[in-house]
A and B are shown apart, each in its own frame.
Chain A
Amino acid sequence: MCLAYPMQIKEVKINSAIAEVDGITREVNILLLPDVQKGDYVMVHAGFAIEKVNREEAEKTLELFREYYKHAA
């Protein structure tokens, strides 16, 4: 499944980390994302963190969006 959801890293261990979303914590494997740090947001799929969520880029997407609709009639 492509289904992945964002969680925040609370604690980094060796090869795994504790991540949290909506008050639920779980251990996620970080073998695919070895340089992850406490506070990072990551996408989690099948027990693994697969990529970081770049909050700055997220804001840029929203800015772009606002630009587009500002010019819509």
Chain B
Amino acid sequence: MLLEEKLKDKHLIKKIARRIHVLGLNRKVNLMEVCGTHTYSFFRSGLNDVLSDYVNLISGPGCPVCITENLFVDKAIYLSKNKKNVIATFGDLLKVKGSLSSLYREKSNGANILIVYSPLDALEFALKNKDKRIIFLGVGFETTAPLVAATIKEAGNRKIKNFFVLTGHRLIPPAMEALCQDKNINIEGFICPGHVSAIIGELPYYPIVEKYKIGCVICGFEPVDMVLGIYTALKQIKNARPAVDNEYRRVVKKEGNATAIKIMYEVFQAGDAGWRGLGIITNSGLFLNKNYAEFNAENLIKTVIKEKKAAANCLCAEVVKGKITPRQCPLFTVECSPANPIGPCMISLEGTCRIYYEYRN
């Protein structure tokens, strides 16, 4: 059997689920994942059913679009109103509503909005359209931030003057710490994001284990990865031995990707930043360093933009914290669905509500 097939083998998965049973915890343990792709994999693999007696896998703030505040979208919309500007964005952000509108709505009203798969596509567009300002919306966690940084460096090397980035990148470990400090959430262990960890390595999770005695298990996305990761997390709890465990060693090195980290912090610096639902978290956002100020789209904003509150009945802020599941939101499937989404959790492909909706039966 090919390696990839082995990692999906249902027979193996059922056997390890049996091993979880044998651990003998005799209760449902609260684990939290902070990665939209983990939310997705957990449901897609059917593990939510297989492990329903043993684990309550809470979805935390792991969807970068979902935790982006209205203010970021409002700024992007403001910039889109200038005919000289082209807003380049990942597809997920297109339909997210800011205070009053969405990029999708602005696009249908004639704004220049470009969907890109990679920030490099936005850079190429800038090269081919010298008469326009191309503004890339930098959203994403540590998996994405280094490659946006690398793109900005490329723009510098090639002396491209019409490429800008509006930075909305956020960092996962500070958000995990903020969640540990919230007395209303009972997290007994974390399942840590595989590809964020491929960049940052194991070290950033050590303070969480030391300060809060909550284990951190780095986990991949195949069904075998997830069941092994969950088993490891439950074993830590059974033995009262919280630790950083790496169950994704084929991609995650202890020190992470040193080149990517170096490039990320050459271009960006960490600072206090706001998250939808979580408020302002210390040193949790990335902002352009002084040396790269010429690429900062904030400098193109000539007015003060005031964010208005989200729609009163939208509970995305509670969902991203893991305080409620989508099923506990009165709007879920009734007024809010992928066809008619109210908040970003239903819009983004990694949004908790979107994934719960897809697997609602």
Contacts and interface: CB of A to CB of B under 8 A. Distances in A.
Contact of A65 (B16, B37, B252): B16
A14 interface: no
A44 to B, nearest CB: 10
A23 B140 CA distance: 29
Contact of A61 (B18, B198, B247): B247
Contacts of B251: 43, 51-54
B5 to A, nearest CB: 11
Q: Size band of the B side of the interface?
A: 35 or more
A43 B247 CA distance: 16
B117 A46 contact: yes
A58 B250 contact: yes
B262 to A, nearest CB: 10
Measured as residues with beta carbon below 8 angstroms from the partner, the interface class of chain A is: 35 or more
Contacts of A24: none
B3 A32 contact: no
B150 A73 contact: no
Interface in A43-73: 43, 45-48, 50-55, 57-62, 64-66, 68-69, 71-73
A56 to B, nearest CB: 8
Given A45-B147, A48-B147, A72-B22, A57 B250 contact: yes
Interface in B198-236: 198-199, 224-225, 228, 231
Interface in A23-52: 29, 31-34, 43, 45-48, 50-52
B19 A34 contact: no
A4 interface: yes
A61 B147 CA distance: 28
Contacts of A55: 3, 250
Interface in B34-91: 35-38, 62, 64, 90
Nearest to A71: B19
B349 interface: yes
B177 interface: no
Contact of B12 (A52, A69, A71): A69
A50 B144 CA distance: 9
Contacts of A65: 12, 16, 224, 228
Contacts of A50: 143, 146-147, 195, 198-199, 257, 260
A14 to B, nearest CB: 12
B350 A1 contact: yes
A62 to B, nearest CB: 6
A72 B15 contact: yes
B265 to A, nearest CB: 13
A30 to B, nearest CB: 10
B250 A1 contact: no
Contact of B22 (A45, A48, A59, A73): A73
Shortest beta-carbon contacts, A-B, top 4: A47-B118, A69-B15, A57-B250, A58-B250
Given A31-B147, A62-B224, 17 more contacts: A1-B143, A2-B37, A2-B196, A32-B147, A33-B259, A46-B90, A47-B120, A48-B118, A50-B146, A51-B199, A55-B3, A57-B249, A64-B228, A65-B228, A69-B16, A72-B16, A72-B22
29 contacts: A1-B90, A1-B143, A2-B35, A2-B37, A3-B37, A29-B120, A29-B147, A29-B150, A32-B263, A43-B195, A43-B251, A45-B147, A45-B195, A46-B117, A47-B147, A50-B195, A51-B195, A51-B252, A55-B3, A55-B250, A57-B250, A62-B3, A65-B228, A68-B19, A69-B15, A71-B19, A72-B15, A72-B18, A73-B22
